[in-house]
Chains A and B, each alone.
Chain A
């Protein structure tokens, strides 16, 4: 064993040195802040750090005794399902169409990838402008052509629709790229064999392409759920600020508001620990499932 290792690496410290930068980044930017969050969640302190008290799990007990916090869970769950679902479905359809195309694929690809370069806050401003109750073009179209009264500042359902669209729109580009490359990795011979057997494009998609894409789909699901849990606060902050009433008050937005705006460091840290646990467990569950799917495929 030992001689084998020496044969691979001329000096024993080399492998450690090679992984060290990556390890350092992970520790400094992930583990250390996470451990800080856990530590702070056990404290109650004023913003200036003059009075710091250790309170054990008090912050967590208060959170779970707060019906409004529990309400945010539902809102976040609903938001995650809507964003992930719509972003996946739309991008899958776009990728399938693009894959089916023979000419002009590059142009479509490029155009479809563009939105990914837009920061969440900008995407939100863009959509908020289009849907603005005062000046938005879509508000105008909805009212003039369909007689539909659009005001997301008062109507919770409309507010959710707006933030879901703004968040999903950005994610579609990302999903599209993965789906398209996933489809192009499927051996052409399989598709051609099915075509010779007489199955049309829809049937080929349903019975060959989609099942073979399963690992990609599950991977994207994880990424999209994590995105809707963590990356959504820019969208909320620029459009609804959690309102109206509490229709769009996502867990991550409350972390930001309580911590950065409200100065409640302990409570905010406790909330981020809760979020961390949710995302870690979701990731673990989904990755185990993916592994099984890969063996199955």
Chain B
């Protein structure tokens, strides 16, 4: 209580210090961006704040995704929530289940009378954050997808054509063997193994990750990525790990740096398209970006990959004036100019078709080949029930389980079938727990 009074006093003091002639509504936005991305966010916010005089958006860095989500939830329970919080895609089901705590974006826009067309957003991006009735619940902000980065210099050294990256996993396997034979320490690795090799690869082959349309159809969904297509894929990677063509170097984004490392770097990596910025900054060699490989002969493949990243959620319980400001800010953030800049600097995909067209018109893709791969891969086909995203609770735990089970395959402790069966079984227990807690 004391803390709150103090904070209020402090906020009051800041307002007095700023001495506005009118009441400015402050909109607090908790986010998880650092470095270049955070600078860009501050720049956007400054632009928005300068463009009008009714609202002042205050961006606050609240730690990594998991931390800032926990902090926002705790703040909500203490009735002290921010207006906007950036939540990673695996937190989507949790936020959606929180009826009453969150105001859906379509409602924020509608109530504020803001012009809003969900069709303006890339379908594979919007679908992840849209409910079964086609209403957008949170605003897509930073979205990326799974792509292949490859080192052209190492391709040349291995006698491969640097302008012909592998299209299929079979080609990738063969290329990896040649790269390995040319004396490279690491031919291939992957970041985000659960997201890239299970979640996105399922969508890419148009096989469901879970029942009930990957969980979009309700909380009773069961995982089913232990299907023959995925077992074959993981067994393929397991074989590559066994004979040294695939070097496992860790969970989440840790392997990214292994691609642009100065010594013993990996020739190929499947990772987030959003690591383009840091890769470009650090890589002292010629690299290319290509589509995520697929397995030949799988019906419907390639379909489209799914996104990762985060979206913006609006909390309930704020005065009406705040929502008007949030709506205006969201329109500003979705504008082609802002999105195009965000896309070009960070490597995240532009969330609207207009921003993609603008970037194309500016000639950015010609100057930076490969940077449009993520977008074309998302736009390849219209998302199906199996490829529009995931809506599964306790996804943080499920990814952890997948990490563990996949590591058991890479180390040869389990076969692909055993590991995926176990991952599905353990993951389903997590889904049942989530269903029970949110009933």
Contact = CB atoms under 8 A, between A and B. Distances in A.
25 contacts: A46-B94, A46-B97, A46-B98, A48-B76, A48-B77, A66-B429, A133-B249, A134-B264, A135-B261, A135-B263, A153-B250, A154-B248, A155-B411, A241-B251, A242-B400, A243-B403, A243-B407, A244-B407, A245-B413, A246-B404, A260-B67, A261-B396, A262-B396, A263-B70, A264-B433
Contacts of B438: 46, 51
A41 B264 CA distance: 48
B37 interface: no
Contacts of B413: 245
Contacts of B437: 44-46, 51, 264, 266
Interface string A36-50: 000000001111111
Interface in A22-60: 44-51, 53
Contacts of B101: 48, 50
Contacts of A47: 73, 94, 98
B407 A261 contact: no
Interface of A: 44-51, 53, 62, 66, 68, 133-135, 151, 153-155, 241-246, 257-258, 260-264, 266-267
Contact of A262 (B76, B97, B397, B408): B397
A222 to B, nearest CB: 32
Contacts of B426: 68
Interface in B215-255: 248-251
The 10 closest A-B pairs by CB, nearest first: A48-B98, A261-B66, A262-B397, A244-B407, A46-B438, A48-B101, A262-B396, A153-B250, A46-B437, A245-B407
Given A153-B249, A264-B397, 15 more contacts: A44-B436, A46-B437, A47-B94, A48-B76, A49-B77, A134-B264, A242-B404, A257-B397, A260-B67, A261-B66, A262-B394, A262-B397, A263-B396, A264-B394, A267-B433
A200 B108 CA distance: 83
B280 interface: no
Contact of A134 (B98, B99, B249, B394): B249
A151 to B, nearest CB: 8
Given A46-B98, A263-B73, A244 B249 contact: no
A49 B100 CA distance: 11
Given A134-B261, A153-B250, A244-B411, A258 B397 contact: yes
Per DSSP, are chain A's interface residues mostly helix, strand or loop, or mixed? loop
B408 A245 contact: yes
Given A46-B98, A263-B73, A264-B397, A243 B257 contact: no
A269 B258 CA distance: 38
A151 B250 CA distance: 10
Interface in B382-433: 394, 396-397, 400, 403-404, 407-408, 410-411, 413, 426, 429, 433
Interface in B244-300: 248-251, 257-258, 261, 263-264
A248 to B, nearest CB: 11
Interface in B333-347: none
Nearest to B419: A245
A260 B396 CA distance: 10
Contacts of B76: 48
A243 to B, nearest CB: 6
Contacts of A241: 251
Contacts of B407: 154, 243-245
Interface centre among B73, B97, B433 (most CB of A within 10 A): B433
B367 interface: no
A50 B99 contact: yes
Contacts of A155: 411
A56 B193 CA distance: 37
A154 to B, nearest CB: 6
B135 to A, nearest CB: 20
Nearest to B432: A62
B119 interface: no
B439 interface: yes
B391 to A, nearest CB: 15
Contacts of A49: 77
Contacts of A246: 404
B241 to A, nearest CB: 9
Contacts of B258: 134
Nearest to A153: B250
A241 B400 CA distance: 9
Contacts of B73: 47-48, 263
Contacts of B264: 134
B410 A154 contact: yes
Contacts of A243: 251, 403-404, 407
Contacts of A264: 394, 397, 433, 437
Contacts of A257: 396-397, 400
B257 A134 contact: yes
Contacts of A263: 70, 73, 94, 394, 396
Contacts of A46: 94, 97-98, 437-438
A269 to B, nearest CB: 13
Contacts of B433: 62, 264, 267
B411 to A, nearest CB: 6
Nearest to A241: B251
Interface centre among B76, B250, B403 (most CB of A within 10 A): B250
B404 A245 contact: yes
Contacts of A48: 73, 76-77, 98, 100-101
A6 B437 CA distance: 57
Contacts of A66: 429
A154 B242 CA distance: 12
Given A48-B98, A258-B397, A154 B251 contact: no
A125 B137 CA distance: 39
Contacts of A260: 66-67, 70
Interface centre among A48, A49, A258 (most CB of B within 10 A): A48
Nearest to B414: A245
Interface centre among A45, A50, A62 (most CB of B within 10 A): A50
Given A154-B407, A245-B411, A263-B94, A50 B400 contact: no
Contacts of A134: 249, 257-258, 261, 264
